[in-house]
Structure 1
Amino acid sequence: MKTLLKKIALLSFASVLILLTSCKKDDDSNDPDVINFSQESTTYAAKTDVIVEGSQNIAESAYVQYEEPGRMPNSYFSNCVSFTLTGGGEGSGTIVVDFGTSCQLLNGAIVSGKINMTYGPILAGVRTINYEYEDFTYNSNGVEGGGTITRDIENNDGNPQSTINEDITVSFTGTTITGTRTAQRIAEWVEGVGSGTWTDNVFHIEGNWQTDLSNGFSRTGVVTQTLVRKASCLYFVSGKITVSQEGLTGILDFGNGVCDPFATIIFEGQEFPIILGN
Structure 2
Amino acid sequence: MKDQHVFKKSIFMLIIVAFAFVSCSEEDSVETDEQNVDITEVKLASEIDIVGESISDIIIDTYEIQERNELNRAENNQMNLPDCVSITILIEQDFREITLDFGTDGCMINGHLLRGQIVLSYSRNIEAQEILINYALEDFYFDEIQVLGSRTLLRQLSNDNGNPQFTHSLDLTVIWPNGAQASREGLIIREWVEGFGSGVFTDNVYEVTGNWTTTFVNGNMHSYEVLIPLRREVVCYYFVSGSVDMQRPNFGGIFDYGSGECDNQATFPFHNGNEIDIVLH
TM-score by length of 2: 0.81
Q: What is the identity percentage for the equivalent residue pairs of Structure 1 and Structure 2?
A: 34
Work out whether residues 230 and 242 of structure 2, in 8 Å CA contact, stay in contact via their aligned partners in 1. yes
Q: Which fold has the larger relative contact order, with Cα–Cα distance below 8 Å and residues 6 or more apart in sequence?
A: 1
TM-superposition CA deviations, 1:108-134 (whole Å, max 9, x none): 222111001111133532111100101
Gap runs ≥5 in structure 2 = 1-14
Alignment of 1:23-172 (within 5 A): 25=25, 28=28, 36=35, 38-69=38-69, 76-87=80-91, 91-101=94-104, 102-105=106-109, 107-122=110-125, 124-172=128-176
Contact map agreement 2:61 2:201 (CA 8 A) in 1: no
CA contact (8 A) 2:148 2:173 kept: yes
Alignment of 1:251 with 2:254, yes or no, is yes
**Deviation, structure 1 residue 184:** 0.9
CA contact (8 A) 1:62 1:97 kept: no
State the distance in 1 between where 2:52 and 2:228 align.
19
Determine the C-alpha separation between the residues in 1 that align with 2:214 and 2:63. 26
How far residue 153 of structure 1 moved from its aligned partner, in angstroms, is 2.2
Q: Is the 8 A contact 2:267 2:276 kept in 1?
A: yes
- Contact 1:97–1:114 under 8 Å retained in 2: yes
Q: Residue in 2 aligned with 1:242?
A: 245
RMSD, aligned CA: 3.0
1:214 Cα deviation from its structure 2 partner? 0.9
Q: The residue matched to 1:84 in structure 2 has which SS? A: strand
TM-superposed CA distance for 1:23, in Å, is 5.6
Kindly indicate whether the alpha-carbon contact (under 8 Å) linking 1:109 and 1:234 is maintained by their aligned counterparts in 2: no
- Do the aligned residues in 2 keep the contact of 1:204 with 1:229 (CA within 8 Å)? yes
C-alpha separation in 2, matches of 1:76 and 1:237: 22
Q: CA deviation at 1:29?
A: 6.6
- SS of the equivalent of 2:240 reads strand
1:200 has 2:203 as partner: yes
CA distance in 2, matches of 1:76, 1:109: 15
- Select which of 204, 214, 231 maps to 1:228: 231
